[in-house]
Amino acid sequence: MADTSHLPAAFNSWFESRGWAPRTHQMELFAKVSAGNSALLIAPTGGGKTLAGFLPSLVDLSLRNVGDTSKSNKQATSGSGRLHTLYMSPLKALASDIHRNLEVPIEEMGLSIKLETRSGDTPSHKKQRQKRIPPDILLTTPEQISLLLSDANCERLFADLQFVILDELHELVTSKRGDLLALALTRLRKLAPNLRCIGLSATIAHPDDLRAYLVAQPLSQKVELAALVQAKGGAKPHITILETQERLPWSGHSCIYALPEIYEEIKAHQTTLVFVNTRSQAERLFQELWRINDETLPIAIHHGSLDVSQRRKVEAHMAAGKLKAVVCTSSLDLGIDWGDIDLVINVGAPKGASRLAQRIGRANHRMNEASKAILVPSNRFEVLECQVALEASEAGQQDTPPLRDGGLDVLAQHIMCVACAAPFAPDQLYEEVISSQTYRYLEYELFLKTVEFVATGGYTLKTYEKYAKLRPTKDGRLRLSHPQFAQQYRLNSGTILDAATLKVRQVKPRGANSRRPLGFGGKMLGEIEEWFIEQLVVGDTFIFAGQTLRFEGLKESEAYVSRSSSSDPKIPTYQGGKFPLSTYLADGVRSLISDPHTWSDLPGQVHEWLTMQRNKSQLPEYDRLLVETFPRNEKHYLVCYPFEGRLVHQTLGMLLTRRLERAGLHPLGFVATEYSLALWGLRDMGLAIQRGTLRLDELFEEDMLGDDLEAWLAESSLMKRTFRNCAMISGLVERRHPGKEKTGRQITINTDLIYNVLHEHEPDHLLLQATWTDAATGLLDISRLGHFLTRIDKRITHSALSQVSPLSVPVLLEIGKEPIFGSASDALLADAADDLILEAQL
Amino acid sequence: MKPNSSLHHKVEPRYRQPIPVCHDLSLARELVGLHDSGALWWPDEKTLVVSDLHLEKAASIAKRKGLMLPPYDSAVTLEKLASLIDSFNPRRVICLGDSFHDIESSRNMPAAYLAMLTTMQLGREWIWITGNHDPEIAEHVWGERYDELSINSLSFRHEPKEGAERGEICGHLHPAAKVRRIGRTIRRACFATDGKRLVLPAFGALTGGLNVMDKAFSEVFDARRFSVYMLGNGRLFPFTAAKLLNE
């Protein structure tokens, strides 16, 4: 039982009236924060994390308002008019849930605390009012805080700020939003010296990273840490891998084979959460489950693209215990009372040990009961991955990524933000910036270059001095040269660019040749990424919100669809939540495969498969790379097993193709999976290796990350996409507001063209540096590829075979299923054009 | 040139020596060649035609909007043009309008770029067709100015004129086309023609494209009764309008 004597009477009696008692970690956090510290709370799901985070703030506010009793009643109910607490979460939906959940205790305890949310959707008159008369507690997002900081009155607005509560901090810090937030915190600390930060996080591998993130860092090498409160973990979860009676698929991700077994589990339990990795898998699985749902069990779907009202409906039914199962992605989040979930089914590969633990935690409604989870691997390799994840979970291992270094593009945006509020002195701003853990190693030179970039573009050719956005004042500070740039900043700030989405609205279908305009006012189904919609032509079908839809056309920022009865829909392929295999799990899988003594827990079919591999070829050894070569259908194949995730394999495939081409072996293409990579060509690569004309040590030599990588990247579309993000975040180009473009001949400036020009003429430019850093850690994951090449340097085993090996079957089955990565668009165009020529001759 | 059948992506220097081989097209009884750079070569008249150079576009945007795009676009465009002139050695060059991004661009163009331009102009006839971006070109820029110009059975102007006219060659619209192949869409600048009229792609380094399926093109070509030649590396890719995607 926790010591609650420090809580005001109103709080204690409220807890009692509910039949609750504050938990130990809630009181511990309260004590540490009340003593004036920033703190990090690590607690599993269902641990009352959010309430714990708000407790110090609510208590402080209640005490403060007691002293204000002399004021009129009206004023009391409308808050103090001073901003006291900020709450930030990665999801704006979460903010509105918290709002609802907090209102109840505030009302029941009779506290006069005003609570409001603010997001991109908040009407502008309300935003204006919030700036003049802020609520006591504002629930918002990092982007909104930056916008408020760019206001000339921000000093007054934040002067009285006491607490910042950062929910799901482990999620926030892994992206550029985390960088933006880190910079905003440095500003807030300056404006509100009493500020205390409270971070709330799931279990992670390196808690000290987050503890350092929450407080200002000194100029010395010393690392300051926020206080740490760790909730006691609940009972160990009970995890199993589905023991299927069916044949385990070689490849694919659909898990259709296990449908009847999943259905039986749903029937046998009270309420089941079925987790999948992508939204498209969610749609697919949901459809398939309903196909066999003979008992019409109430099964629902929930993912981040669905309309809020749809999601709310599912959540309400769930809380009321009306649902038997929900198929969902990781978007389904906490802070929501989920009723009695007694089973979590994870469909597909877990991808990371911590990720799995967080998902399983969803079933852990009462902390001291063991949660129950079943893993359903969708193919044979995933069985291995599930096995490793299961062992990691039992051992309590974590594999969350370390804290990232702050991006220069985000820094550029922040500099602009600061300049919009007031003139600034560069050296003072520099000290402020490096007080964040994320930017503490930023060099002064680089900072000045970033300022220069904001002012004039930072080019060697100094042609834009006369148009500079920042100009020096007499006292050596920098000020905005024209108010229009502040306006421009506010329209274009933010960091999440991949989320450019279009609303999906259901309308009545149109006849094939109807010229009738599209109808208005249909039901809103949700949002889909813009690039997915761009791929569609009118008449295309796809699965969304659990139904097959026909694309009817685009109108402003909305995609119009109608119901379709098509039996062969194009499934949305949007990437939402596609995670690479964590290094930790990859390591485990390599270790598991290499040692037959550890196979005893594996299903018979997988055991058999690996044994066959051992007999027909050989097993990949833990610290070596296995390369197999064999002929098939008049082509020659080279398959290797790095286990480093699809992204790394794609980059590797691209670089190996270049080298094979140079060796005169005429590679034709390659395809990559999470675990392996297959290349093929017309020449016998196995023979070349045996004769010594192709040396594997040289082929996989680390220097491929030099010129070859450089040359390929210059043309790579991934690099261009990364550049596009950096260009928009840094303010080099204006952000596209989907659907808001002027019609007709409005031509947006194409960032690919800018990239080409810049790469040609100033390859060392700041923005190309930022792009490179992003690519190295993000889309291309070059640093991981580098580690891999070092690991296997001169440790390559060649197995020359006369036919396909058992282990290579999964990757070979992928050929033809998806576009062959690396096929240059010129080659595709040539194919398309040649098809046309053939047609013409027929 | 044989299409590259390998799926391997070859990186070539961006301004490799252009091969003076073109896709032949017959227009109003004249034989013209479409080049993969986006230029038009008229062998009988030894005339090279380019459209929409938009020189000094980046500088103009920096000035008007404070977006500091790389100030190297004029250099890239001029280098590309110079290398074409090197290999074709034309007797006459026609720039089809919007050669300068705005009126001040020709006035304020840095001396180095002006020198590049003047060097190219030596020993050949140089014609500026005026466009909506450059109704006036600063006097110190050498070359003849025309609103439109007819040579033999071809006529050159910036914007396509209403009513189909045989042998009209124009720019202005920045045509681009989009096709889908194995689940990927590819968008490229292109030539667009219905056999009577030819629209050139924009030649400038920072010039975007407008999809030929956009309604702006419906006044230029009868719906779906035209073809495009998408720009590739060393070749062009022909498609009929029926094969193209909307934006």
Domain presence at residue B194: yes
Task: Provide the percentage of residues in chain A whose pLDDT is more than 70.
Answer: 83
* A297: its two tokens: 């069990």
Could you list the residue range(s) of the whole structural domain that residue B103 is in?
A: 23-243
Residue A130: pLDDT above 90? yes
Question: The dihedral of CA A209, A213, A215, A219: what is its sign?
Answer: positive
State the Cα torsion A725-A556-B227-B179 to the nearest 10°: 50
The answer to whether B184 contacts A819, with C-beta atoms less than 8 Å apart, is: yes
Confidence bin at A499 (pLDDT 50/70/90): very low
Counting other chains too, the contacts that B45-48 makes at CB distance below 8 Å and 24 or more residues apart are B45/B91, B45/B92, B45/B151, B45/B152, B46/B88, B46/B89, B46/B90, B46/B91, B46/B92, B47/B90, B47/B91, B47/B92, B47/B93, B47/B94, B47/B151, B48/B84, B48/B85, B48/B88, B48/B90, B48/B92, B48/B93, B48/B94
Q: How far apart are CA B192 and CA B162, in angstroms?
A: 16
* Residue A440 CA: distances (Å) to CA of A17, A104, A218, A769: 48, 41, 9, 18
Hunting for tokens 């809380």 — which residue is that?
A319
Q: If residue A359 lies in a helix (H) or strand (E), which one and from where to where?
A: helix A353-360
pLDDT at A822: 39
The answer to whether A467 contacts B62, with C-beta atoms less than 8 Å apart, is: yes
Q: How far apart are CA B103 and CA B55, in angstroms?
A: 11
Which residues 6+ apart lie within 8 Å of B2 measured at CB? none
Q: How far apart are CA A455 and CA A457, in angstroms?
A: 6
Task: Provide the percentage of residues in chain A whose pLDDT is more than 90.
Answer: 39
Average pLDDT, chain B: 87
Which among A668, A715, A734 has CB closest to B67? A734
Q: pLDDT digit string (tens) for A771-794?
A: 988 888 766 678 888 899 999 999
Assess contact for A194 and A162: CB atoms under 8 A: yes
B168-170 and B197-199: which strand pairing? parallel
Residue A740: pLDDT above 50? no
* Residue A214 CA: distances (Å) to CA of A206, A209, A438, A543: 14, 9, 10, 42
* A197: its two tokens: 């930060």
pLDDT at A308: 73
pLDDT at A518: 56
Which among A469, A667, A733 has CB closest to B8? A667
Concatenate the DSSP letters of all residues of A3-45 into one string.
--TTS-HHHHHHHHHTT----HHHHHHHHHHHTT--EEEE--T
Q: Which amino acid is at A710?
A: E
Assess contact for B156 and A806: CB atoms under 8 A: no
Assess contact for A169 and A200: CB atoms under 8 A: yes
Chain A CA closest to residue B176: A747
Confidence bin at A179 (pLDDT 50/70/90): very high
Residue A568: pLDDT above 70? no
Length in residues, chain B: 247
Chain B residues with CB-CB distance to A658 below 8 A: 8
A560, β-bridge pairs = A505, A553
Average pLDDT, chain A: 83
The answer to whether A457 contacts B62, with C-beta atoms less than 8 Å apart, is: yes
Domain presence at residue B63: yes
Q: How far is A716 from chain B (nearest CA, A)?
A: 9
Helix, strand, coil shares, percent, chain A, to 5:
45, 15, 40
Q: How far apart are CA A504 and CA A449, in angstroms?
A: 43
Domain presence at residue B4: no
Render the burial of A305-320: b for 16+ CB within 10 Å, e for the rest: bbbeebbeebbeebee
DSSP structural state of residue A467: G
* B103: its two tokens: 């009126």
Closest to A574 in 3D by CA, of A278, A251, A329, A175: A278
- Residues 670-729 of chain A with CB under 8 A from chain B are 711-712, 714-715
Assess contact for A639 and A810: CB atoms under 8 A: no
pLDDT at B181: 65
> What ipTM does the predicted assembly reach?
0.83
Domain presence at residue B16: no
Chain B CA closest to residue A836: B239
Hunting for tokens 């100029």 — which residue is that?
A219
The answer to whether A753 contacts B205, with C-beta atoms less than 8 Å apart, is: yes
Compute the count of residue pairs across chains A and B with CB atoms less than 8 Å apart.
177
Domain presence at residue B5: no
* Residue B66 CA: distances (Å) to CA of A358, A454, A457, B60: 45, 10, 9, 9
Q: What are phi and psi of B94, to 5 degrees?
A: -115, 125
Would you write out chain B's pLDDT as a tens digit for each of its 247 residues? 333 333 333 334 444 454 556 788 999 889 999 999 999 999 999 999 999 999 999 999 999 888 999 999 999 999 999 999 998 999 999 999 999 999 889 998 999 999 999 999 999 999 999 999 999 999 999 999 999 999 999 999 999 988 767 899 999 999 999 887 655 567 889 999 998 999 999 999 988 888 898 888 888 888 778 999 999 877 888 898 888 888 7
Sheet of A677-681: strand order equals A667-672, A677-681, A635-640, A625-632, A796-800
- Residues 764-793 of chain A with CB under 8 A from chain B are 765
State the average pLDDT over residues A38-61: 86
Which residues 6+ apart lie within 8 Å of A802 measured at CB? A630, A631
Which residues 6+ apart lie within 8 Å of A712 measured at CB? A654, A655, A658, B9, B11
A758–chain B Cβ distance below 8 A for any pair: yes
Question: Of residues A221 and A134, which shows the higher confidence score?
Answer: A134
Concatenate the DSSP letters of all residues of B192-247 into one string.
EE-SSEEEPPP-STT---EETTSGGGTTTS-TT--EEEEE-SSSEEEEEGGGPPP-
Chain B residues with CB-CB distance to A758 below 8 A: 70, 72
Domain presence at residue B185: yes
Cα angle value A417/A423/A429 (rounded, 5°): 65
Highest mean pLDDT of the ranges A230-234, A506-510, A709-713, A805-809:
A805-809
State the average pLDDT over residues A501-510: 76
Assess contact for B90 and B135: CB atoms under 8 A: no
Q: If residue B24 lies in a helix (H) or strand (E), which one and from where to where?
A: strand B23-27
Q: How far apart are CA A253 and CA A382, in angstroms?
A: 9
pLDDT at A606: 92
Domain count, chain B: 1
The answer to whether A749 contacts B9, with C-beta atoms less than 8 Å apart, is: no
Question: Of residues B1 and A516, which shows the higher confidence score?
Answer: A516
Helices (H), A674-807: 685-691, 696-699, 707-715, 717-729, 751-761, 766-777, 782-791
Cα angle value B222/B227/B232 (rounded, 5°): 145
* B213: its two tokens: 């399926």
Chain A residues with CB-CB distance to B214 below 8 A: 744
The answer to whether A758 contacts B245, with C-beta atoms less than 8 Å apart, is: no
Q: If residue A589 lies in a helix (H) or strand (E), which one and from where to where?
A: helix A583-594
SS3 A54: helix
Length in residues, chain A: 842
Chain B residues with CB-CB distance to A654 below 8 A: 9
DSSP structural state of residue A799: E
Which among A469, A658, A750 has CB closest to B208? A750
pLDDT at A74: 41
Q: How far apart are CA A440 and CA A217, in angstroms?
A: 8
The alpha carbon of A501 is separated from its chain's Cα centroid by a whole number of angstroms, namely: 15
Chain B residues with CB-CB distance to A733 below 8 A: 67, 69
The answer to whether A463 contacts B71, with C-beta atoms less than 8 Å apart, is: yes
The answer to whether A836 contacts B243, with C-beta atoms less than 8 Å apart, is: yes
Cα angle value A115/A117/A118 (rounded, 5°): 140
Chain A CA closest to residue B14: A760
A677-681 and A667-672: which strand pairing? antiparallel
State the average pLDDT over residues A318-345: 74
* Residue A675 CA: distances (Å) to CA of A443, A792, A809: 39, 15, 12
The answer to whether A827 contacts B3, with C-beta atoms less than 8 Å apart, is: yes
The answer to whether B174 contacts A747, with C-beta atoms less than 8 Å apart, is: yes
Render the burial of B41-73: b for 16+ CB within 10 Å, e for the rest: bbeebebbbbbbbbbbbbbbbbbeebbbbbbbb
Chain A residues with CB-CB distance to B71 below 8 A: 457, 459, 461, 463-464
The answer to whether A464 contacts B71, with C-beta atoms less than 8 Å apart, is: yes
Q: pLDDT digit string (tens) for A338-382?
A: 567 888 899 988 788 887 887 777 665 555 667 788 999 988 888
All domains of chain A in start order, with CATH? 9-230 (3.40.50.300), 238-394 (3.40.50.300), 412-492 (no CATH), 501-563 (no CATH)
DSSP structural state of residue A623: T
Q: pLDDT digit string (tens) for A150-164?
A: 999 999 999 999 999
* A30: its two tokens: 């309260």
Domain presence at residue B97: yes
Hunting for tokens 């926030």 — which residue is that?
A172
Q: How far is B66 from chain A (nearest CA, A)?
A: 7
Q: Count CB atoms within 10 A of the CB of residue A107.
A: 10
Assess contact for B7 and A824: CB atoms under 8 A: yes
Question: Of residues A353 and A623, which shows the higher confidence score?
Answer: A623
Q: How far apart are CA A334 and CA A358, in angstroms?
A: 10
Q: How far apart are CA B97 and CA B193, in angstroms?
A: 19
Give, rounded to a whole angstrom, the gap between the first and last alpha carbons of chain A: 84
Q: If residue A427 lies in a helix (H) or strand (E), which one and from where to where?
A: helix A426-433
Q: pLDDT digit string (tens) for A287-298?
A: 889 999 999 999
A394–chain B Cβ distance below 8 A for any pair: no
CATH number of the domain at B224, please: 3.60.21
Which among A485, A668, A758 has CB closest to B70? A758
Residue A502: pLDDT above 80? no
Chain A residues with CB-CB distance to B11 below 8 A: 711-712, 714-715
Question: How deeply is A842 buried, as exposed, middle or buried, from its count of CB atoms within 10 A (0-12, 13-18, 19+)?
Answer: exposed
Domain presence at residue B10: no
